[in-house]
């Protein structure tokens, strides 16, 4: 659901967009830290916030880190 947000912020179209790994952090909602494959050898880390259900909002891309590899550890940022 956040692919269009990522593509808009980075001004690129991703032919590959596969989530490989994720972590969660419970706040007033949930932060998801997601490792996503965007090309054969390139990965990005996304921070996505999902509000509590009663707020009736979809997931929102908060920040991202580019230039990652498959072996880079997925950490909170």
Average pLDDT, the chain: 93
Is the model's pLDDT at 53 over the cut of 90? Answer: no
In degrees rounded to 5, what are phi and psi of residue 67? Answer: 75, 25
Of 1, 6, 11, 3, which Cα lies nearest the Cα of 63? 6
Pairwise pLDDT comparison (35 vs 57), residue with the higher score: 35
pLDDT in tens, 18-29: 999 999 999 999
User: What pTM did the predictor assign?
Assistant: 0.89
Domains and CATH numbers, the chain: 1-68 (3.10.450)
Locate 56 and state its tokens: 């009736």
């Amino acid at each position: 659901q956040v692919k269009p947000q990522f593509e808009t912020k980075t001004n690129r179209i991703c032919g590959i967009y596969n989530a490989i790994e994720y972590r969660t952090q419970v706040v007033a909602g949930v932060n998801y830290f997601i490792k996503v494959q965007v090309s054969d050898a390139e990965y990005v880390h996304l921070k996505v916030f999902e509000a509590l259900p009663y707020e009736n909002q979809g997931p929102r891309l908060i920040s991202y880190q580019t230039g990652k590899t498959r072996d880079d550890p997925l950490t909170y940022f």
